[in-house]
Amino acid sequence: MGSNLAEADGHLGERILQYYEARAKGGAGLLIVGVGAISFPAGACNPNQVAISDDGFLPGLTQLAQRVHAHGARIAIQLQHAGKVAVRDMVAGRPLWVPSAPEFKRSDLVNDLTPDEMERFVGDLKRPGAGMSFHEMSVADIADLVAAFAAAADRAKRAGFDGVELHAGHGYILSSFLSPASNRREDAYGGSHENRARFLVEAIRAAKDAVGADFPVWCRIDAKEFETPGGITVEDARRTAALAQAAGADAIHVSAYADPNIGSAFTKAPLVHQPGGYVDFARAIKAGVDVPVIAVGRIEPVVADRLIAEGGTDFVAMARKLLADPDLPQKLADGRPDDVRPCIYCYTCVGNIFLNASTCCAVNPATGREYEIRVEPAATPKHVLIAGGGPAGLEAARVAALRGHRVTLCEKAANLGGTLRVASLVAEDNAALAVWLERQVRSLPIELRLRCEVTPESIAEMAVDVLVVATGARRIAPAIPGVERAEVWSGDALRSLLAGGDASIASRLALPARLALRVGKALGILDRPDLARSFSRWWLPFGRQVVVVGAGLVGTEIAEFLSERGRTVTLVGSEPTLAAQMAPPRRWRVLRHLRESGVDLWTGARVESIDAEGVHFRDAHGVGHAVPADDVVLAEGAVGDAGLAERCAGVVPEIHTIGDCGGVGYIRGAIEDGARVARAL
């Protein structure tokens, strides 16, 4: 998995060394360093990519191998030339090396980007001399790259690595030869499957010759090219795997790819969103080879155990999960699966790569910053009061307690989780994070006070040293005629309803919905974010036609949530870009889903009134529209609320505000804020 954590010149600095070292400490058996450029800077795709093209890179590579070995792990490196997706070649004005000149295809990648993202996405491509052109590789060019793969393999061995993986997937040079959609050559490297695989076969043989029979060399291949007419099929991949084994490959790593011109396709492959999306591919490949098979693609640990036990694969690779929690392997080995911090599949990590930044993680602020972020014992333990049990408050409490502070956490509601509970309903992957945070806090020596609202008077009685305000945002009802109507749900009302509801909110519902809500509450279902989402499929108290006002992350998620439950949804927002707070790959997927589901999406619009006929608004061109609505959801108007901190000034010597009360930052901002302040106490 490319991290963009190397230095700009391809060398390995402290940040990438500690990034991999943390995962070695965490118990991984084998680390595979992502996309090592064999012809750097030529053929590189990312601005901070690892290079292995020259002996000048050996010192850093050697140090990395030594650090990983010191923790009992093994280490390999992917050998890669990016070919048609070598963005650094475009930046430098070098032609992209390809098997055949590609046919022009219009891309939709920039259609749903914000202006800032567009600037970062295009980035260096606006430099003088940058541009896109193509070079159809000659036989001599192929021979040169075969030699470069072999030399890089030898270099990895001399650096102390334990193996190399030739990356023959994801649109890179080897995969573009393998794919009948991109390889239209008529020489010995095109046409038949054996010819298209010849480049890979020669590279494997050359690498094995360079490093010897006892040094592992394997390849990563695509089992399928999604949304690519004439692309790689599973049967193609089975034949490729057999040819790779015959050439000397010691294992086959099974991934997948999709048309890179289609933004939403990235979450089909290679950033699979479907749990276990490539498991059947791995089974199919394994049935045809005698060497080990590596499966990848959002595989949960319990599924991984079953796969290996059933013989469906030999090894399981994890990427995003080890960004969220590098200690996952050790926690599983210790019998502590509930302690594993979950990945919420928000694509923040890889979204940064698209924007030419380094990888990071929404739920683990230390990812990519291990060299500067540590949780260490406090020099002077203090009594820390945290007001608010949402994600920011829970993370602050967790980290502060780990550092040895005496922590009291007060939450005015009956449950922990705050807005994360609602977020877990509309985006189900968030539920695991809500459960994990609460479990961690309850397992630590933290005093929990539920149904307890913090006031200046209560703080004075508790004699605390530090107040951390994590009470969240306040939601201002927009000045729209009709917002007081019963069918209009404010953010606070919807949150109260979906999180369990109070009597005044529930009274607005029809009798069947009120009864269902009471049953769910009585059975404790609404107290479990992981169960409440499924429960909402049949009790959700909204009419058939719903208008969502607000085109940000919250409004977009709610629109998807309602559409999945059979509602006819119209989303109206003043924002110029839909879901601007989502990472691009996730946004591409969600917006495609909404459009294909028939959700009407309006940006740059202004709502003028709400009445019995529905919602009246003007679009970005000033044209008036009226949309019928049984219910209206207000998904905008949240602003930071530091009121408690202001009221407590002078009551407690040290006050901090975190999370949405200091400005809406969503899950990533809440976790980052909570951890940052707790580390500084």
The string of pLDDT tens digits covering residues 456-508 is: 999 988 989 999 999 998 888 888 999 999 899 887 777 666 655 555 555 55
Q: Is the pLDDT of residue 668 over 90?
A: yes
DSSP state of 343: P
Query: CB under 8 Å to 291, separation ≥6 — which residues?
Result: 218, 245, 249, 250, 251, 252
Q: Beta-carbon neighbour count of residue 42 at 10 Å?
A: 18
Mean pLDDT score, 515-544: 65
Helix 419-426 vs helix 529-539: crossing angle, to nearest 10: 60
Dump strand ranges (E) for 178-323.
217-226, 252-258, 293-295, 315-316
Q: Write out the two tokens for 24.
A: 């070695």
The pLDDT of residue 427 is 84
Alpha carbon distances (Å) from 157 to 2, 17, 24, 77, 386? 20, 18, 19, 10, 51
Chain CA centroid to CA 630, Å? 35
Minimum mean pLDDT range among 310-324, 358-372, 485-499, 582-596 = 485-499
Instruction: Look at residue 306 and tell me whether its pLDDT is greater than 60.
Output: yes
Residue 406's beta-bridge partner residues?
383
**Of 256 and 423, the one with more pLDDT:** 256
Residues 666, 168: Cα–Cα separation, whole Å: 37
From the candidate CATH numbers 3.40.50.720, 3.90.550.10, 3.40.50.300, 3.40.630.10, the one assigned to the domain spanning 383-473+642-680: 3.40.50.720
The pTM assigned to this predicted structure is 0.93
544-565 per-position pLDDT tens digit: 999 999 999 999 999 998 998 8
498 or 337, which is more confident: 337
The CA-CA-CA angle for residues 639, 527, 324, to 5°, reads: 65
Q: Which residues of 321-335 are buried (b: 16+ CB within 10 A; e: fewer)?
A: bbbbbbbbbbbbeee
- How is 526-591 classified by DSSP, letter by letter? GG-HHHHHHHHHHH----SEEEEE--SHHHHHHHHHHHHTT-EEEEE-S-SSTTTTS-HHHHHHHH
**Closest CA relative to residue 501, chosen from 541, 468, 447:** 541
Backbone angles phi, psi at 516, to 5 degrees: -60, -40
- Looking at residue 104, its pLDDT comes to 85
What pLDDT does residue 112 have?
Answer: 93
What ranges do the domains of the chain cover? 14-101+134-354, 383-473+642-680, 499-638
pLDDT, tens only, 20-64:
999 999 999 999 999 999 999 999 999 999 999 999 999 999 999
Candidate list 19, 20, 172, 278, residue with the active-site label: 172
Min mean pLDDT across 151-155, 195-199, 492-496, 621-625 is at: 492-496
71: tokens are: 């923790």
CATH number, span 14-101+134-354: 3.20.20.70
Whether 499-638 and 383-473+642-680 are alike in CATH topology: the answer is: no
Q: What is the pLDDT averaged over residues 207-233? A: 97
Q: For tokens 């052109």, what's the residue?
A: 133
Annotate 473-515 with DSSP letters as a single string: -EEPPPS-TTTTSTTEEPHHHHHHHHTT--HHHHTTS-HHHHH
Q: Which pLDDT belongs to residue 438? A: 96
Per-residue pLDDT of 198-217, as tens digits, reads: 999 999 999 999 999 999 99
Closest to 495 (Cα-Cα) out of 510, 480, 473, 513: 473
Q: What is the pLDDT of residue 422?
A: 80
Average the pLDDT over each of 232-246, 398-412, 461-475, 537-551 and give the range with the smallest value.
537-551
What is the CATH code for 499-638?
3.50.50.60
What is the arithmetic mean of pLDDT over 92-98?
A: 97
20 belongs to the catalytic site: no
CA–CA separation, 432 and 424 (whole Å): 8
* pLDDT value of position 188: 98
| pLDDT for res 543 | 87
* Predicted confidence (pLDDT) at residue 529 exceeds the cutoff of 70: no
At 29 the three-state DSSP class reads: coil
> What mean pLDDT comes out for the span 117-132?
90
**Structure confidence at residue 531 (pLDDT):** 63
- The answer for residues whose C-beta is within 8 angstroms of residue 597's C-beta and 6 or more apart is 560, 563, 564, 569
Give the separation between CA 55 and CA 76, rounded to whole angstroms.
Answer: 17
Q: Quick one: average pLDDT of 593-619?
A: 96
Report the percent of the chain where pLDDT is more than 90: 83
Please give the pLDDT value at position 507: 57
